[in-house]
Amino acid sequence: MKIAFFSTQPYDKEYFERYNKQHEILFFEARLNEQTATLTRGCNAVCAFVNDQLNKGVLNTLNEMGVKIIAQRCAGFNNVDVVAAVENNITVVRVPVYSPHAVAEHALALIMTLNRKTHKAYNRVREGNFSLDRLTGFDLYGKTVGVIGTGKIGQCFARIMQGLGCKVVAFDIVVNKELEALGIKYLTRQEVLQQSDILSLHCPLTEQTKHVINSDTLEIMKNGAMLINTSRGALVDTMAVITALKNGKLGYLGLDVYEQEEKLFFHDLNENIITDDVLVRLLGFPNVLITSHQGFLTDEALTQIAIVTLQNITDFEEHKQLKNKVSVPAGAYK
Ligand code: NAD
Same domain, 112 and 223: yes
C-alpha span between 154 and 75 (Å, rounded): 14
Determine, yes or no, domain membership for 323. no
* Cβ of 174 less than 6 Å from ligand 1: yes
14: annotated active-site residue: no
pTM above 0.85, yes or no: yes
Same domain, 174 and 263: yes
Determine, yes or no, domain membership for 324. no
Name the helix (H) or strand (E) containing 154.
Answer: helix 152-163
Which residue owns the Cα nearest ligand 1 atom 20? 172
Q: What confidence category does residue 262 fall into, taking pLDDT thresholds of 50, 70 and 90?
A: confident
Which positions ≥6 away from 218 have C-beta within 8 Å?
Answer: 240, 241, 244, 249, 250
93-128 residue pLDDT tens: 999 999 999 999 999 999 999 999 999 999 999 999
pLDDT of residue 186: 98
Same domain, 219 and 250: yes
Same domain, 144 and 265: yes
Number of domains in the chain: 2
Determine, yes or no, domain membership for 334. no
**Torsion-angle region of 188 (φ positive above 0: left; ψ -120 to 50: alpha; else: beta):** beta
317: annotated active-site residue: no
Same domain, 164 and 80: no
* Cβ of 207 less than 6 Å from ligand 1: no
Same domain, 131 and 56: no
34-61 residue pLDDT tens: 999 999 999 999 999 988 999 999 999 9
| Phi then psi dihedrals of residue 167, to 5 deg | -90, 120
CATH of the domain at 279: 3.40.50.720
Q: How far is the CA of 152 from the centre of ligand 1 (A)?
A: 7
Same domain, 243 and 273: yes
Determine, yes or no, domain membership for 24. yes
Question: CA of 104: how far to CAs of 138, 197, 324, in Å?
Answer: 20, 18, 22
Residue 331 in this model has a pLDDT that exceeds 80 = no
Which positions ≥6 away from 251 have C-beta within 8 Å?
Answer: 223, 224, 225, 226, 287
Catalytic residue, chosen from 24, 293, 317, 319, is: 293
Q: Which domain holds residue 307?
A: 2-98+299-317
286-292 mean pLDDT: 97
Q: What confidence category does residue 278 fall into, taking pLDDT thresholds of 50, 70 and 90?
A: very high
5-27 mean pLDDT: 97
pLDDT of residue 334: 41
Q: What confidence category does residue 309 fall into, taking pLDDT thresholds of 50, 70 and 90?
A: very high
87: annotated active-site residue: no
Catalytic residue, chosen from 105, 232, 271, 319, is: 232
Same domain, 176 and 260: yes
> Which of 153, 212, 229, 232 has the most ligand 1 atoms within 8 A of CB, as the residue to mutate?
153
